[in-house]
Amino acid sequence: MKSPISILLVYSCLFTACSTDDPDFILDETEDGEELIVVGPCGDKDYDIGTLLCTPTLSNEELEVVTWNIERFPLDDETSNKVAAIISDLDADIYALQEISDVDAFTSLVNAIEGYEGMVVDVRGSIELAFIYKNSAITSISSPMLLFSGETTPFPREPVELDITHSNGLTVKLINIHLKCCDGSENRRTAASNRLKDYIEDNHSDEDVIILGDWNEDFDKGSSFSNFILDSQNFAFVDLPIYQGDGENYSYPCTGASYCPSHIDHILITDELCDNLTATYTVRLDDCVSNYLTEVSDHRPVMVSLKADD
């Protein structure tokens, strides 16, 4: 049974011109003191950017992909009911989830959401990666594949790759990740980012790929993900304009620490998907779901919408 959730949709900003006065990104400074400017996502393409509160009306014609760290699921006795209601009401097509601590509880969760199926993947730890997807929208889905399994890698949990096809005909490769957290792990995150980029270039250089999840770092100067940011001809962090905002739409709305709030949940696409890009949002569930941060998660979901090929 789903718990009641208020229904409200707010677009805090439409189009890149509203989200930031300068869509380009200053990554760092060169040795002579000049700023190194990186072009905005997909060549400053116009797409909707903003905030969704709870339950929008999403298009059946577009593929909606969500990344969501649901913090050691389930946190509380009410967690499963609330997550089931959120997924059902948000009505996105596929959710890439991080931090599944109780696999049996996850199975019960999926069974409670009408029209959805799911899978959880053992990724070398007690907090697993998972997917939940809508049957009517995802017309095919591959078996999950662990990347870099058996290797000595900087990943604390193996990335999980799978292919999906949407009812609009768009086929996309998803790679769900959860990188090493916290200060002092920048070198591991940099190495992980380099390993991911090499993997895409070696194996899927001309394909529609989305890498999404909890990257555990924002886009500050000296970012561990500068390899992707600098290669704006081939890759785009579509949530970069959210980071350039005032912090209200950041994915990690923590308080009381120097790093709060932070935007650490990202969606990276290959350039082949730039023409399909229509929107990127943070879903600010803590504004309309009671006790969200203590009973559901300390992270907000981040979503991208993609239209069919022209």
CA 45 centroid distance within chain: 19
Residue 243, phi then psi, degrees to nearest 5: -60, -35
Quickly count: other Cβ atoms within 10 Å of residue 293's Cβ. Answer: 17
Distance CA(66)–CA(63), nearest Å, equals 10
State the amino acid at position 231 in one-letter form: D
Q: Which residues pair with 222 in a beta bridge?
A: none
Structure tokens at 249: 């739409």
Of 37-41, 79-83, 86-90, 254-258, the poorest mean pLDDT is in 37-41
Structure tokens at 104: 């049996």
DSSP annotation string for the chain: -PPP-------S--SHHHH-S--SEEEEE-TTS-EEEEPPGGGT---EEEEE-S-----TTSEEEEEEEEEEE--STTHHHHHHHHHHHH--SEEEEEEE--HHHHHHHHHHSTTEEEEEE--SSSSEEEEEEETTTEEEEPPPEESSTTS--S-SS--EEEEEEETTS-EEEEEEEEPPPSTT-HHHHHHHHHHHHHHHHHH-TTS-EEEEEE-S----TT-TTHHHHH-TTTEEETTHHHHTS-STT-SB---SSTT-SB--EEEEEEGGGGGGEEEEEEE-GGGTSTTHHHHT-SS--EEEEEPPP-
CA 106 centroid distance within chain: 19
Q: What is the pLDDT of residue 298?
A: 97
Write the pLDDT tens digit of every residue in 109-131: 999 999 999 999 999 778 999 99
Distance CA(82)–CA(4), nearest Å, equals 9
Q: What is the pLDDT of residue 5?
A: 35
State the amino acid at position 103 in one-letter form: V
Write the pLDDT tens digit of every residue in 217-248: 999 877 999 999 989 999 999 999 999 888 99
| Mean pLDDT across the chain | 88
Structure tokens at 124: 């070398």
For the chain, what percent of residues have pLDDT higher than 90? 74
Q: With a cut of 60, say whether residue 71 has pLDDT above it.
A: yes
CB of 53 closer than 8 Å to CB of 10: yes
